[in-house]
């Protein structure tokens, strides 16, 4: 036969025109296998990011993307307060540096 592929799962030669092994049913099409691997990696990456995202960040994101206007308002108020808090903090740090210098 001209067009045959070796199955990566069972190592038997199978019809190259088919995307799956005729013996065990595993994928033999290189393009489809590459696509499968790419999808798996994407899923792994998403799972990894999901684990690493802390509960506080998830809550904040939930507020920002909430359908309720009230939740979004709370998010923007908290966001603004945090910005002001950081501004005051950096001003104090600047003052300390000014006095000691």
- Is residue 14 within 8 Å of residue 4, measured between CB atoms? yes
CA 72 to chain centre: 24
Task: Tell me the C-alpha distance between 90 and 73, whole Å.
Answer: 26
- Asked if 63 is part of the footprint of Zn ion (rule: CB under 5 A), the reply reads no
Site for Zn ion in 23-52 (CB under 5 A): 23-24, 26
- Is residue 54 within 8 Å of residue 44, measured between CB atoms? no
The interface region with Zn ion, picked from 17-25, 57-65, 71-79, 86-94 by CB under 5 A, is 17-25
The interface region with Zn ion, picked from 8-16, 39-47, 49-57, 90-98 by CB under 5 A, is 8-16
Q: How many residues bind Zn ion (CB under 5 A)?
A: 7
Q: Which residues bind Zn ion (CB under 5 A)?
A: 7, 9-10, 21, 23-24, 26
């Amino acid at each position: 036969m001209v067009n045959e592929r070796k199955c990566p799962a069972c190592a038997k030669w199978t019809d190259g025109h088919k995307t799956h092994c005729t013996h065990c049913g595993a994928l033999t099409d290189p393009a489809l296998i590459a696509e499968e691997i790419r999808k798996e990696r994407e899923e792994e990456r998403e799972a990894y990011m999901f684990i690493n995202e802390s509960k506080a960040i998830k809550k904040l994101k939930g507020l920002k993307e909430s359908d309720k206007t009230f939740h979004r308002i709370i998010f923007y108020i908290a966001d603004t307060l945090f910005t002001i808090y950081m501004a005051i903090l950096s001003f104090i740090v600047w003052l300390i540096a000014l006095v000691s210098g």
